[in-house]
C-alpha cells in the first residue's frame, strides 16, 4: 500500500519542523523540504497535499506589496446598496474584505500602486457621491505582519488547538516577518512577475515549470523571472500555514473572526498593543498605521473565544479607552489575491473598476481564440 493510500505517521517534533521549514522555503520543492526535515519527499508531498488540509491547515503565500511599489491602507466603509449594486463591485485593489456582523459596514485592506494612491481614494469618494457608500474613512498602513502558525499550541492529530495560557503570558518575543512601507517606492514588477505571484497565491505548491506550462510560456524565461525578480527582489514576505478548518468544513459557527483596533497611541502604547495581540496564536494579521493606530485580526475557535477576549482585555486594561473589538462575519469576509487583471502587459498597472478589468480580460481571450 502506498503513502497516498494511508496516513503517514511521523513524530510530533517532525511535524513542528515541517511547519517551520514551510515557513522558510515554501512548499513548491518537496525534495528541498525533505533534505531540510529528514523526511522522504513523497512523505512531504502527502503531508502537504493531503494531511495538512485534512486537519484544517491552508498553506498561504504572503506577498510583500511594499516591494512591488504599492501603498497599503485600511478602508472602513459604511455601504449603501442601490438597485442591486454594491460598492464592492466598483472597488479594485482590495487584498482583504471584512464584513462586520449586521448592517452594511466593512473593514478592508487596500493595496494600490503608490502613484494611484490619491486617485484611488478619489474613486471611493465618487462612489459616495453616487450613493453606493454612505461614509468612509481610511488610514495608511506603515507596516504589516503575518504571524506564523504557532505549532507548539496545535494538535496535529486532531486538528485542534491545545492552549497553555500561562506559557503564552510569558512570551516576550514578537513572531513573524514585518514589511515596512516607505513614503514612495519605484515599481519593480513586470507582467511575468505578476503572473508568477498570482499563480503561487492560488496554488502555493506550484513550481516555475508548472507555471510555464499553464501560461504556455518558455520555462527558462519563467525560471529566470522567478529567481532573478521574485526571489531576489523579495516580492514574497513569507510562507505561512493558516488554520481554516471551520471554513473548509462549512462550519463557520465554530469560528469567531475579530479585529482589535487600537487608536491614538503613543510609542509605548503601540508596543504594548503589539505585545498583547502578537502572542495570541489566533492572530493571523497585524498592522500599524501612520496615524498611530494598531489593528490585529484574529480567527478564534469558538471554544477559546471567551478566554481569548478576556485575556486580551485584562492585559490591555491600560489602553481600555483606546481600543474597540470589531466582530466580523466569517461567511462574508475573505482574502483576495494580487489583482492580475489590473496589470496590462504594455502599460503596467491600471486604475479601473473590477468590471472593466474583467471585460478587458475577456476581450483579450476572445481575440486570442
Convert the pLDDT of each residue in 127-182 to its tens digit: 999 889 999 999 999 999 999 999 989 999 889 999 988 888 877 788 888 888 87
Instruction: Say what the pLDDT of residue 167 is.
Output: 87
Question: How far apart are the C-alpha atoms of 171 and 219, rounded to whole Å?
Answer: 46
Q: Which of 146, 145, 147, 148 is nearest to 181 (CA)?
A: 145
Q: How large is the C-alpha radius of gyration of the chain?
A: 21
Taking all residues of the chain, what is their mean pLDDT, rounded to a whole number? 89
Q: Hey, which residues does 297 pair with through a beta bridge? A: 259, 285
Per the structure block, which three cell numbers stand in for 134?
454612505
291 near 139, Cβ under 8 Å? Answer: yes
* pLDDT tens for the chain, residues 1 to 369: 333 333 334 445 778 889 999 998 999 899 999 999 999 999 999 999 888 989 999 999 999 999 999 999 999 999 987 656 789 988 999 999 999 998 899 999 999 999 899 999 999 999 999 889 999 999 999 999 999 999 989 999 889 999 988 888 877 788 888 888 876 666 678 999 999 999 999 999 999 999 999 999 999 999 999 999 999 999 999 999 999 999 989 999 999 999 999 999 999 999 999 999 999 999 999 999 999 999 999 999 999 999 999 999 999 999 999 999 999 999 999 999 999 999 998 889 998 766 665 665 565 455 555
Backbone φ and ψ for 35, nearest 5 degrees, come out as: -65, -40
Map residue 2 onto helix, strand or coil. Answer: coil
Q: Where are the beta strands (DSSP E) in the chain?
A: 57-63, 70-79, 94-99, 105-113, 133-145, 154-155, 160-161, 178-180, 236-243, 255-262, 283-289, 294-301, 323-328, 334-335, 343-344, 348-349
Region label for 270, one of left (φ > 0), alpha (ψ between -120 and 50) or beta (otherwise):
alpha
Question: How far apart are the C-alpha atoms of 350 and 352, rounded to whole Å?
Answer: 6
The secondary element (H helix, E strand) that includes residue 97 is strand 94-99
Instruction: Say what the pLDDT of residue 242 is.
Output: 94
- C-alpha 255: how far from chain center: 17
Question: How far apart are the C-alpha atoms of 231 and 135, rounded to whole Å?
Answer: 40
Backbone φ and ψ for 100, nearest 5 degrees, come out as: -70, 150
Alpha helices by DSSP H, 105-244: 117-129, 165-169, 191-202, 208-215, 219-224
Contacts of 116 (CB under 8 A, 6+ apart): 93, 349, 351
Amino acid at each position: 500500500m502506498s503513502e497516498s493510500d494511508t496516513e503517514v505517521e511521523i513524530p510530533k517534533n517532525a511535524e513542528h519542523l515541517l511547519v517551520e521549514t514551510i515557513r522558510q522555503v515554501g512548499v513548491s520543492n518537496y525534495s528541498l523540504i525533505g533534505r531540510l526535515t529528514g523526511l522522504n519527499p513523497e512523505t512531504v508531498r502527502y503531508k502537504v497535499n493531503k494531511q495538512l488540509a485534512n486537519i484544517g491547515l491552508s498553506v498561504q503565500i504572503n506577498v510583500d506589496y511594499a516591494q512591488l511599489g504599492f501603498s497599503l491602507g485600511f478602508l472602513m466603509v459604511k455601504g449603501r446598496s442601490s438597485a442591486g449594486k454594491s460598492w464592492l463591485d466598483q472597488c479594485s485593489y482590495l487584498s482583504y474584505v471584512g464584513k462586520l456582523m449586521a448592517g452594511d459596514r466593512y473593514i478592508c485592506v487596500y493595496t494600490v500602486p503608490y502613484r494611484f494612491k490619491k486617485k484611488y481614494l478619489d474613486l471611493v469618494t465618487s462612489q459616495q457621491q453616487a450613493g453606493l457608500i454612505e461614509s468612509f474613512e481610511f488610514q495608511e498602513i506603515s507596516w504589516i505582519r503575518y504571524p506564523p502558525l504557532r505549532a507548539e499550541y496545535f494538535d496535529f492529530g486532531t486538528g485542534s488547538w491545545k492552549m497553555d495560557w500561562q506559557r503564552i503570558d510569558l512570551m516576550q518575543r514578537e513572531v513573524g516577518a514585518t514589511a515596512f512601507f516607505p513614503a514612495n517606492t519605484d515599481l519593480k514588477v513586470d507582467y511575468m512577475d505578476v503572473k508568477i505571484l498570482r499563480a503561487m497565491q492560488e496554488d502555493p505548491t506550484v513550481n516555475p515549470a508548472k507555471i510555464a506550462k499553464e501560461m504556455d510560456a518558455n520555462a527558462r524565461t519563467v525560471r529566470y523571472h522567478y529567481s532573478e525578480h521574485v526571489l531576489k527582489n523579495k516580492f514574497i514576505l513569507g510562507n505561512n500555514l493558516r488554520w481554516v478548518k471551520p471554513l473548509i468544513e462549512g462550519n463557520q459557527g465554530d469560528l469567531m473572526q475579530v479585529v482589535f483596533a487600537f487608536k491614538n497611541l503613543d510609542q509605548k502604547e503601540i508596543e504594548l498593543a503589539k505585545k498583547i495581540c502578537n502572542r495570541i496564536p489566533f492572530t493571523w494579521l497585524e498592522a500599524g498605521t501612520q496615524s498611530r493606530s494598531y489593528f490585529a485580526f484574529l480567527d478564534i475557535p469558538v471554544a477559546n473565544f471567551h478566554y481569548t477576549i478576556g485575556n486580551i482585555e485584562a492585559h490591555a486594561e491600560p489602553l481600555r479607552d483606546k481600543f474597540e473589538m470589531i466582530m466580523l462575519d466569517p461567511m462574508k469576509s475573505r482574502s483576495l489575491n494580487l489583482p492580475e487583471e489590473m496589470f496590462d502587459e504594455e502599460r503596467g498597472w491600471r486604475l479601473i473598476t473590477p468590471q472593466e478589468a474583467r471585460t478587458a480580460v475577456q476581450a483579450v481571450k476572445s481575440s486570442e481564440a
